[in-house]
Amino acid sequence: MNPLLEDWTTPFAMPPFDRIKEDHFKPAFEAALAEWKAEVEAVATDTAPPSFANTVEALERSGESLDKVASVFFNLSSSCSTEGLQAIEEEIAPELAKSHAEIFMDTRLFARVDAVGDDGLTDEQARVLKLYKESFVRAGARLDEAGRKRMSEVMQRLASLGAQFSKNLLADEKAFELVLETEADLEGLSGAEVSAMARAAEDRGHPGKWVVTASRSAVEPFLQSSKRRDLREAVWRGFVGRGADRPETATKDIAAETVRLRDERAKLLGFDNFAAFKLENQMAKTPEAVRGLLERVWTPAKAAAEADRARLQELIVEEGGNFEVQPWDWAYYAEILRQRDHDLDDAELKPYMQLENIIAASFDTASRLFGLSFAERDDIPRHHPDVRVWEVMRGDKHVGIFMGDYFVRPSKRSGAWMSTFRDQQAMDGEIRPIVINTCNFVQAKEGEPVMLTFEGARTLFHEFGHALHGLMSDVTYPRISGTSVARDFVELPSQLYEHWLMRPEVLGRYALHAETNEPMPQELLDRVIAAQNFNMGAATVEYLSSALVDIAMHTTDVGEDYDPQALEASVLEKIGMPAGLGMRHRSAQFGHVFAGDGYSSGYYSYMWSEVMDADAFGAFEDAGDIFDASTAERLSTAIYSAGGRQDPELAYLAFRGRAPEVEALLKRRGLLDAA
């Protein structure tokens, strides 16, 4: 028997990870795909008049086995990747895309779905019906036979390209290492950073030495702390060179073909460009609206970054340097200025940012807002020894399973994300979700506490906000479960949740010193809060430049000679990218955009959502209590539990009572005076 195709009798019907082997996946995909196609064929050939029950609900029930297999596979391929899993992904990704295209371009199915009226439907059913009709149209169901054939070919090729982009990027991240030979190479680094680098050296076969890897959680602290400018440059170049420096793993051609095919896809459907197609059903609606927001924030952010750059240059001259500030210098000298301006440095702050306590803080915040509790379980299967598992309850009711996979390893792609092994739904009885947060924090030596940077703590809260969006989902239909919402709305629950970390009501309870267990002194807490917008101009410019390049890539006319890296350079020149700053994600390693379709023409969504989250937290401030019960209840009902039950504009209005205001974002980022 193939365990992927069995009914899972494990606690909470968790995947039986201890029994699942790599060679189970290919036959499981084949069987599950065949089952899905047979289920859909039964809907397409049903002789009864189309109804919501026999058409839409039947489609919602189809593919259960495939969902199970795919959820396990893609979670493992992103966090426990092997050459075997990569080979399967390269083979199965286009097959999945082909099957999806065949189903959503099936004119028989579309005719049945299109014939279903919304008379007598609940609001939720009407929303699901609308989304199904929209999906068929956007997949190409109204195209002629030649158009449908070409669309299927395009979608298969795009799936293959996304898998190849991810494979190349992971290979580069594994390949890069800067081996430090002597203690002189460690000048400026904290004890925790040195310990982490020693552990990385052991893992990579360099005992007695120290290694900097291409993980952002290793690179950023090194750039901030190392006094060795030559080593900072080597680390920075290795990090931004992923996907560009090694011919055998270069992503340029993959990205170029991806953009060309996306453009063709959009034009097959009658759109001017891919961004216009992608944004049609998002909150932003048009590329012009996206540019309007990004450029509204770009002007004050650039002004703030230029002012900060001048201060950094003065500091370099003051220290006797005879060079212009470069991207590998910015974080180092900015940290010196932060210490001067706010009497604050990471060496003082980091002992208070213990991973265990930040996890507890995220749980306690959810408890105080939403009445949730978290009990760690050791009897539940997991896919890696580092993974931890909690049962989530509200009172005596089971809410779901939360998993945390927190530590960097070579088999895990970079970044941090939330995903699921099972989504919530209630079509045939209540099905509760299995949600996982995956991060890349640097693990400490055995017996030592894991300590985070403040940005690491913010990342944990951010991803846990996504997790709550999945865990608290309370809808009937899988199509609108959890995070199945517009891309420029999905970041609202996660970015909003970050606000609680910055509050003394949370930090005062959980920012405890790793050695003394004493709470963070009030004066230090005050300095942390005062410094939260330090260097915000640079951080905003790094993000905005990536978002502007993303939109430009998907609105520019493309031809056979299209070059995404040349376009990137052109955009940066046009917007006047401040000297000494780099993009958050260059096109060669822009996994958000090229490893899949999720954030293509959508990287702007973090800022679109931030307009809402900055404004939304104001509701708690207006109430005079960041845990105000009635405000939290509205937040739960309208946002965290609602999934995609209604248009996001209406969901936000249901919570806040009005549309969000951009000024709240500028105020939060400390850019209002520069606007």
Residue 519 CA to residue 352 CA, distance in Å, equals 8
Across 299-322, b (16+ Cβ under 10 Å) vs e yields: ebbbbbbbebbeebbebbeeeeee
How far is residue 345's CA from residue 94's CA, in Å, rounded to a whole number? 49
Tell me if residue 463 is catalytic. yes
The residue count for the chain? 675
Quote the CA–CA distance of 290 and 395 in Å, as a whole number.
Answer: 42
Q: What is the spatial distance between Cα 487 and Cα 477, in angstroms, rounded to a whole number?
A: 19
322 CB-near residues (< 8 Å, 6+ apart) = none
Whole-angstrom Cα distance, residue 79 to residue 72?
A: 11
Q: How far is residue 28's CA from residue 62's CA, in Å, rounded to a whole number?
A: 16
Sheet with strand 397-407: strands edge to edge: 372-376, 388-394, 397-407, 434-441, 417-422
HSE of 155, CA atoms in CB hemisphere, 13 A: 22
Rounded to whole angstroms, the Cα distance separating 561 from 205 reads 43
Question: What phi and psi, each to the nearest 5 degrees, are found at residue 440?
Answer: -135, 50
State the catalytic residue, choosing from 124, 173, 306, 463: 463
d(CA 81, CA 90): 13
Comparing CA positions, the residue from 488, 487, 489, 493 lying closest to residue 468 is: 493
Residue 51, Cβ density class (10 Å: 0-12 exposed, 13-18 middle, ≥19 buried): middle
Task: Enumerate the active-site residues.
Answer: 463
